[in-house]
Amino acid sequence: MAYITDSTELKSHAQAPEWLPLVETLGLAMSFMVLGLLADRTDPFLLKRGFPWLAFAPLLAGLRHGSGKGVLAGTAMAAAAMLRPSVGLSPVMIESAFGWIAVGLLAGEFADAWRRKRRALEANASDLSSRLEALSRDHLALEASHEALKRQVPGEPVTLRDGLAAMGRSIGHRGPGALQALAEPILWLFAEHAFVQSGSFHLLDPEGQPDPAIAELGAGGSRRDDPLLLAAARSGEVTSVRERGDGSDLLVAVPLVDVEEHVYAVVAIRDMPFLSLHDGTLSLLAVMGGYLGHAITAAASANEPVERPKEKKGRWRRSRDKQPSPASRPAGVAAGSGLVPQTATAKEGPK
């Protein structure tokens, strides 16, 4: 049994003392004024220069500590300049003072916005870390329970997890071109665990359109322009006759889609028991299609890259959100239950 040992740990930023930003801000302002005094004793605030060099003090203070400290640095420098008898309240001094304060304010606003965004991201990351930890524990408990149940059942029946894992290994071993050879076994996997009695397997061309069926199960022939088949290929979601069945000969169309919304193929289901067409079965079909799609992507990454159909972003997450809870999903059908068709034929791929 494999255990999950890695966990995401978020290190919170150490809180600096409250007086430190104030000291740094005043220190920046004094440092730039000292540098100005060393550069020109007659014009320590560099008001007669072509560039307002002292504006860097409120700029740095604002970027470091926010708008409040940026304004404080600009105000401190302006007050020190106005208290100097040779400067006073001259027009140049007043304009420079407003400029220093404005620079500190604008730079601080950017810093405040970045800080708010960072805090929101840290809060989201902390929440996701907690969810991942809870999910890891639930997974370990479920895996332990599953292994104990398998030990109690004689004969070691093939479960859905075992079937999907074996199919994933076959796809990884054969490489990205495995779908041509594994189309018929994939249909049998759906028949064994998802109540499918007849259906067909359709690859997608680089434009995301279904090709003619390369494998059939039972009387599973279906048109490549079937509305349900086209809808599943476009959306990357399990589509059933309950949503859009006008003019379709199918009951359900199941895309083989990975987490990045790349659809590689569609399993067109033509016949299944009437009572099996419910939300639990549709959720099970979505899980199977997603698992196989991820296995294809992993095989493509491990081998040479393959040309994928057009990418469809943002649909898989919404599809998963609409699925019912795992408690409502059926456990699958064991071999020899009478729901598995007895014939399956494979066709040659499209030329």
| Distance from C-alpha of 87 to C-alpha of 40, rounded to nearest angstrom | 14
Predicted pLDDT of residue 74: 83
Nearest-angstrom CA–CA distance, 76 and 55 = 12
* pTM of the shown model: 0.54
Rounded CA gap, 351 and 214, in Å? Answer: 11
Contacts of 177 (CB under 8 A, 6+ apart): 306
The 10 Å Cβ neighbour count of residue 315 is 16
For domain 160-346, which architecture applies? 2-Layer Sandwich (3.30)
pLDDT digit string (tens) for the chain, length 351 residues: 444 444 444 444 556 677 788 888 888 888 878 887 777 777 777 777 777 788 888 888 888 888 888 888 888 888 887 777 666 677 777 788 888 888 888 888 888 899 899 999 999 999 999 999 888 888 888 778 777 777 766 665 567 888 888 888 888 887 756 778 888 999 999 998 888 989 999 998 888 889 888 888 887 567 888 888 899 999 999 998 877 657 788 899 999 998 888 899 999 999 988 888 888 889 899 999 999 988 888 888 776 554 455 444 444 333 444 444 333 333 333 333 333 333 344 444 443
How far is it, in rounded angstroms, from Cα 254 to Cα 244? 14
**pLDDT of amino acid 331:** 36
Distances (CA, A) of 226 to 145, 195, 202, 248: 42, 21, 11, 6
What's the pLDDT at 223? 80
CB-based contacts of 261, cutoff 8 Å, min separation 6: 236, 311, 312, 313, 314, 315, 316
pLDDT of residue 156: 59
CA 313 to chain centre: 10
Report domain extents, the chain.
19-125, 160-346
